[in-house]
Structure 1
């Protein structure tokens, strides 16, 4: 199917006919097939075979961003795409992937982007004002994604098969066009690592569409230690969370959610869901509390009392200037406090924060992690 999409139906079926007629009842290799298809189509097939046949894994394509430039009677749309991989590292050349550009009335312009390496872009001219761009909308390419699109015409639950995602729409004024993509590729990591917090190196979701306002829905995401999340969720001390960003140009941020199920398998519900990308993460809740020594760290940071119903006091066993960062359980930066040279003790009073677990992180000025502690607020 990937080869058919790559060449187009006319060229593909003619090439297959010639291939079968010329080489019937003979033994040939993938290299022979590459040579024959290159000769019969006049297209150098080495890029395709390197990317899809000779190297392990599967290419993964995604939209990085797009821009719109109004013209007289039309619009120029520049679409930026990038290539990742599910499996062993390899970056293919001679990539071809289909894009579909839609307006508010779902008029569609479909074309292809050709590019080499990790990223590329193409500018298209369309007769309508674009509002969204979709990649491989009809699932013609067998890249490392599973996606479905549907038209939602009434409230209620809508499933997107094989994406581990469903949507429960509670408010809808007109029909909505929605696509859910399950990406089998590592998500971008945090710009600044947060100790004891990690995100999936295996998968993430892209949810996008053309829909009326107001549109209110709750998304449901599936997680499982014994399935796709076995490298993310490793023990009962791992607490599952989810992060969101509007597009690939933004950083991951915390989003309100509800977990239904035990630590090893269940669902995460995101109310008032926004279009964009979502990725699972886990907090390692085995990080020590109080003044217990943390394995592999030197107790540069001490905290007491812990738990506390009010003020926390931090004792800093370092003479260098640093930054003390307080993170919420879902990875949101709550406060950043400057620690001056030779400052040995400081206090922090949570204001307007709910009960729960927080993470205190001490970083050197060069962003090097010095220590971290879990703190428990019990107002």
Structure 2
């Protein structure tokens, strides 16, 4: 399931979820007593005036304990017409939520029985202000979405049929759905009979032999037609059915041109597709998609002929491995479904567009998680016990994807893919826990250190942070013995991570390199390695394989001018260069080391610091810009909540601190720098500092009385009179600026690489730009009138 929620209500979607609603009985424990063997759902869905369904569901079941005399079923707000077992009418009690059927006799292990419940009524929608799942009658469509955000039990099959509505009970399905007026039904599985009775009702029978939980059961009805494709995979050729109104099929086909690529990617990475068909059914629902097995409910607005939302197409498809095939055992383990489906979006992008696109997406997501997820969702949380009210929140989807990427880094590509294939083969058509997932991976790969991974990243909260305290290189004949001293810090946890496989890269002056993997545990660690050269730079995790509390960017710079490092929250302007420079900037979400000697009573940031390293030729001279941001207005962007502990009232006392290495004391940046305040100095908490000379070392902000900022170099930002909204945005961006409208204005927008994306002449004091086809990421706006810069702004595009 993929939610689509506008950023300005992203948090609010969960604020309103209070006490659990619609408490049901059929949690996992009932499946320890009775096993449902098959559901046959026969419904007449022709009443689009009163939105009523009529019919019955037959359940074949068997007890797994002796002495069973009742069958408890989940069914929400229906009118029961009768219940029979083929020999007679059965007694029951029903409170609009729990249907308790008295069986005709005592059932024991090995017995089987069929029971049919006949009912009618108006199927329900998700209760509460954040309506998501339920059964919809909408503009000529009838369809269900099998997940409730607001109910005590998130499974929502009970809105249209009696069932054991939980994540662990699985059964095959037969659907027999009657429609009229040109409407036809699509359900899970393969189409069998398709007949029209004497009353003009069209009855279509769909059979799914593979067992699924009830929340994956699907009915979609409209004046549909279908597009027939196919795919040849590891287990042979299977059909692809794209279902839409006739007027929507052309756009749908265009938006799904990479569907076969997604299938290739997922079969290669995760193993064979185990289902009888691939199916997507367009519905008029705009707040997300639902991974109903073989019959995905997909918003028609997203199949608009573009590829803008193809990551959602891939997300839902990947559930046929993570979620539909191997299902989380309980809602607290939802990351096993949604975290892995979210990670599969990056796997898809990597397959189609290459590793750089994968890395950029993973980096952006990781930055958002380590920066903001604990603020959005009430603290640092373990992944396997997520609270009910944020089952479908960012920890599950986005941090789950971040942890999946980190697991890949731990295991290495070949064993990672091997382990996933083995796990899914062991867990197909069943429910799993994180511990079972761990054990399956270890059994397949022999990587016993994965016990540490799951203990640290899944069963506990927070982030580690790894840095090099120092390196010592001693000549040893023609070689060098290089000792590396490593420190682990913690963000949001008190437990040091153990057996973390970190890649250490040792670079020569010609940029050639050697990389070694070392397992690091505890607060301090060190190791010595022998190299045939004396390294000029030593770095941890340059390929960003481990999701620790750092976001870094590496660039090769060979040109003058501005070079943005948006994920690192800074930029540099090169004023002199002949040879190329390798620049790595780390934005550390961890406390900088404290000062040991602090006569000026500086108060260092406790939230972050920068580390700048690289290979700088002697001809390289650059200025550095570091942004401070103490705003706490939103948790939905790259800004805010970075320096709020230093800007309780405003940023007046912000100063820039520096040290060249960890053995030296922090000091105010020793060369000339200028601070620019964005907005009114009396209440502004946002601005930036321009350091005249960028030097290798560590930088952070602090509160203190500056010895360098004196009047003329602590200024209001003369280029801040520009306004953008919404920010972040997805499809449309409005840019406004101040000043007299005396001459045309040049609006230029650059991407994070400094590439010019758009340049236009605007009149007046406003322009509107469509961004629906732009890639997700940071963009930089410059507004000029003549030679004067009217304003600059950073915006974020997220679809």
TM range (shorter): 0.7 to 0.9
Q: What displacement does 1:46 show?
A: 2.1
Q: Which has a greater percent of helix?
A: 2
Find the partner of 1:128 among 533, 542, 554: 533
- Cα contact 1:77–1:124 (8 A) shared by 2: yes
2:596 alignment partner, SS class: coil
Summarize deviations over 1:342-377 as a string: whole Å, max 9, x none. Answer: xxxxxxxxxxxx899xxxxxxxxxxxxxxxxxxxxx
- The answer to whether structure 1 residue 265 and structure 2 residue 669 are counterparts is no
| 1:1-379 matches, cutoff 5 A | 1-44=405-448, 45-193=450-598, 197-226=602-631, 227=640, 228-236=642-650, 238-255=652-669, 256-262=672-678, 263-283=684-704, 329-330=705-706
Q: Please state whether the residue corresponding to 1:109 is helix, strand or coil.
A: strand
Query: RMSD between aligned alpha carbons?
Result: 2.1
| Deviation of 1:9 (Å) | 1.4
1:50-80 alpha-carbon deviations (Å, 9 max, x no partner): 2211111111111111111222332222222
More strand by share: 1
- Flag the 1:189–1:238 CA change in 2: closer, same or farther, 3 A: farther
Residue by residue, what CA displacement relative to the aligned partner does 1:193-230 show, whole Å, maximum 9, x if unpaired? 55763111111000001111132211100111111111
- Seen in structure 2, the aligned counterparts of structure 1 residues 250 and 22 have a Cα distance that, compared at 3 Å, is same
Conserved? CA contact 1:113–1:121, under 8 Å: no
Where does structure 2 lack aligned partners over 5 or more consecutive residues? 1-404, 632-639, 679-683, 713-799
* Cα distance per residue 1:320-355 (max 9 Å; x no partner): xxxxxxxxx2379xxxxxxxxxxxxxxxxxxxxx89
Structure 1 unmatched runs, 5+: 284-328, 333-353, 357-379
Give the drift of 1:157: 1.4
2: CA distance, partners of 1:189 / 1:17: 46
- Against the structure 1 CA distance between its residues 89 and 238, is the aligned structure 2 distance closer, same or farther, given a 3 Å change threshold? farther
Q: Is the 8 A contact 2:658 2:666 kept in 1?
A: yes
Counterpart of 1:27 in 2: which secondary structure? strand
Q: Secondary structure of 2:518's partner?
A: strand
Distance in 1 (CA, whole Å) between partners of 2:630 and 2:698 is 21
Q: 1:331 to 1:46 in 2, by over 3 A?
A: farther
Contact 1:222–1:266, Cα closer than 8 Å, also in 2: yes
| Kept in 2: contact 1:52–1:59 (CA 8 A) | no
Deviation string 1:130-180 (CA, Å, 9 cap, x unpaired) is 111111111121111111111111221111131111111112231111101
Distance in 1 of aligned mates of 2:466 and 2:418: 27
2:491/2:590 contact within 8 Å kept:
yes
Q: 1:237 to 1:269 in 2, by over 3 A?
A: closer
- What SS does the corresponding residue of 2:501 show, helix, strand or coil? strand
Looking at CA atoms only, which structure, 1 or 2, has the larger radius of gyration?
2
